[in-house]
A and B are shown apart, each in its own frame.
Chain A
Amino acid sequence: MSSAALRQPMSLKVLSNGFLAFWCIVAAFPIAWIAVMSFKTPIDAFDSNPFRVIFGPHTRTNIGGLSLIDILLGLALAGMLVRQAIRWLPGKVAEYTPNGRTGISWLVGGGAYTLVSLVLLVVVLPAVLGVLNPVLGPLGTSIVGLTTEHYEAVWIDRGFTRNFANSMIVTSGVVLVSLTVGTLAGYGLARSDSVIAFWLLVVALVFRALPHSVLVAGYLPYFITSAEWLAPIFGDAAPTLYGKPWAIIAVLVAINQPFTIWMLRSFFQNIPAELDEAARVDGCSHFGAFRRVIVPVMWPGVITTGLFSFLLAYNDFLVTSLLLDAQNMTMVPAIANMFNRETTASDEVQAIAAAVSITAPLFVLVLVFQRQIVSGLTAGAVKG
């Protein structure tokens, strides 16, 4: 394509990049700000002077802080890690990926990379700095107050690790089940032009529009008393659904199903029907054709849909807060619990620290799957 005709005038470039810069600040600022707050004592965190929040004088005098050299080295290391994640990691993953299972190898690769990064940032760096700081004089004296006590309180005293594990169980369960069930249905709907299929899609759309609070409040009594009304079917083995992660998984999968089947249906529609028809001519059943022809080419769309399922399950508050008990509570309702009637300012900063903590996995997720989101959507998941 002739690039000369597309070359942009300077004014347009400045305008467009200026707008982009403005948007990036708007997008990142609130999140960056709560991250700053989470490292300060309550007195600093809720100060109305922004500079006191950033530099945290109360935190510095009472607890300690970071020196210039800490900040510089920390930023450099973090920058390098992110850069490597974008530049180097995709190549490595592709290299070690056996026959097109990108999803799994990305999970493994991304997980390992995150782990190594964490060790570098949390263990190695502080150790090095502990040696450097006393030697460097003025560069080594702390200028910004910082405390990790809220993170310690959240993760150690309040046992947030258990909530983290629960979140992982529920989220991975929802993603797996939702995709399995949804892929089948999406494919079936894409390859059928019956009236039933059309109305099914319309009804699904209406279902998606339902206010969730009503649905969820309707479940509660049945979930709690399920041991009684399931007894005729299961006998003494009848389970109490309330508080069971797998029951929550089922509910979230169902709530998410309308969106999933719409996304996947449009995606499958863009895979030419001739492909599976050819396979059927060769003697495959519908399922055989699906497994041999469709499954190998469906991953871009499935990964994108899976990401949306992940977001829904990971971020859900309404369902998980009402239907899970303390032992199986996921992270979002656990944080909401920290803002209770008797909340103190320290509790609030702890809740902020927890909120920042649960955002971190989402960061990694987007960092790793960014390309897949765009390419999956490009491949057709939004064409219907």
Chain B
Amino acid sequence: MKKKTFAIFVGPSVFMMVLFIAAPLLSILWLSVHVTQPVYEQVEVEICTPGLLGSVCSTELKTRPLLDESGRILTQTTFVGLQSYRNVIEPEKLRSAIANGSWRELMNIRFWSALRFTLVFTILTLPLVLGTGLLIALAVNNTLQRIKGPVIFVSLLPFIITPVIGALSIRWLFIGDGILTAGLEWWLDRDIAMFAQAWTIELMMYMYRVWHVAPFAFVVFYAGLQTVNNDAVEAAIIDGASRWQRLRYVIIPHLMPLVIFLTLIHLMDAYRVFEEIVGFSASAYVISLQWLTYEFLLQDGTGARAISRASASAILTMIGVAVLLGLPLRRVWRERKGS
């Protein structure tokens, strides 16, 4: 295909991505090495606010920003290099934690504990999602023809349901004396509080993610199973291969490209884990990298936000994803070279 035709075909798509993804990305990069601050002055003001019984007045020394001639807040921007990154990863504390060999001390630094959770979450849920998806696909493929339709329908539900609502519905089952917690209490005959310690919350988040994403893996694998080469399976049967051997040596190699595809998608999505933290109110016990970014970005009560640290934390998250994606992508690259 000629360069020009290619450009016309791809142009609109690239234009939208540049405008709405690449441009903001560049500005994030710029923001992460700069700090923009209003220029403040100290003034004494008298403030009266309503009480229930009468106005409450006081004189306070207030810090307020200077305004320029057009009435906007006067700001100054300075280049700070990697200072914001240092503020996020806190290298001094990291060094002292390593020097003391204290895991606990390391986990008290927010960035590192967020990184710990994000990595464990990503890596632990990956085989669970792939395994559950494959099992469901095999089971559906094996079952009676006439119930396949309804089973596929039910299986897809957790995937299509709005994530915010899915997380909330699971939360309602467990929070306080939600019915599943009540059921567990009745069964084990002891008082259980699922939201009172880190490991139960983490467990619920893993379960939720597998519940939510496994159907996608299932439907992809199921589609893959429809294209398994029957000749190869028959040849294997003639060779006397057992059911397990057929799965291991014929079907799984056939599904391997799908495993890579799902792995890529899962690594990207799981590394951004965020909805679970919100949905399960987990932030007291565990936080993720995107939560950390979000927390910096969140305005405090008076409207200020830590844009520089948020940008730095976002860039660090991206670098993490790029590293994680490196492995499966190398394979894709080699195959391209090979073909």
Contacts and interface: CB of A to CB of B under 8 A. Distances in A.
| Direct contact between A and B judged by beta carbons closer than 8 A | yes
A383 B237 CA distance: 26
B234 interface: yes
A189 B173 CA distance: 46
Interface stretch (A93-101, A146-154, A200-208, A231-239): A200-208
B160 to A, nearest CB: 5
B317 interface: yes
B174 to A, nearest CB: 10
B154 A24 contact: yes
Interface in A1-45: 1-2, 5-6, 8, 12-13, 16-17, 19-20, 23-24, 26-28, 30-31, 33-34, 37
A86 interface: yes
Interface in B319-333: 321-322, 325, 329
B156 interface: yes
Interface residues of B, number: 93
Interface string A185-207: 10111011010111010101111
Given A2-B234, A370-B156, A187 B9 contact: yes
23 contacts: A2-B237, A24-B155, A34-B165, A182-B13, A192-B1, A202-B329, A205-B329, A207-B17, A209-B268, A209-B322, A210-B314, A213-B294, A213-B297, A219-B24, A253-B16, A254-B17, A255-B20, A261-B13, A286-B1, A359-B165, A362-B161, A370-B156, A382-B224
Contact of A358 (B165, B170, B257): B165
Interface stretch (B40-48, B89-97, B137-145): B137-145
B77 interface: no
Contact of B183 (A50, A311, A317, A383): A50
B21 A215 contact: yes
B160 A250 contact: no
A384 interface: yes
Nearest to B168: A355
A104 interface: no
A27 B158 contact: yes
A329 interface: no
Nearest to A48: B177
A275 interface: no
The 10 closest A-B pairs by CB, nearest first: A188-B9, A377-B223, A254-B20, A185-B13, A48-B177, A209-B321, A214-B314, A30-B169, A254-B16, A378-B223
A303 interface: no
Interface string A280-319: 0000001000000000000000000000000100110100
B224 A250 contact: no
B274 A211 contact: yes
A367 interface: yes
A209 B318 contact: yes
A163 B90 CA distance: 45
B81 interface: no
Given A181-B12, A185-B14, A31 B219 contact: no
Given A314-B162, A317-B164, A206 B321 contact: yes
Contact of A17 (B16, B139, B155): B139
B297 A217 contact: yes
Contacts of A335: 164-165
Given A20-B143, A26-B211, A30-B169, A210 B13 contact: no
Contacts of A170: none
Given A16-B143, A27-B215, A53 B179 contact: yes
Contacts of A219: 20, 24
A272 interface: no
Interface string B253-288: 000011001001000100110100000000000000
B311 A214 contact: yes
Contact of A211 (B6, B17, B272): B272
Nearest to B222: A374
Most chain A beta carbons < 10 A, residue from B19, B21, B168: B21
Interface of B: 1, 3, 5-6, 8-10, 12-14, 16-17, 19-22, 24-25, 27-28, 132, 135-136, 138-140, 142-143, 149-158, 160-166, 168-170, 172-173, 176-179, 182-183, 211, 215, 219-220, 222-224, 226-227, 230, 233-234, 237, 243, 257-258, 261, 264, 268, 271-272, 274, 289-290, 293-294, 297, 310-311, 314, 317-318, 321-322, 325, 329, 336
Given A181-B12, A257-B13, A377-B220, A48 B179 contact: yes
B77 to A, nearest CB: 15
B173 A33 contact: yes
A366 B153 contact: yes
Contact of B6 (A8, A182, A194): A194
B136 A20 contact: yes
A372 to B, nearest CB: 11
Contact of A315 (B135, B163, B183): B163
Contacts of B264: 205
Contacts of B169: 30-31, 33-34, 355
A215 B226 contact: no
A324 interface: no
A144 interface: no
B43 to A, nearest CB: 27
Nearest to A215: B24
Given A189-B10, A209-B271, A261-B13, A20 B139 contact: yes
Contacts of A173: none
Contacts of B14: 185, 200
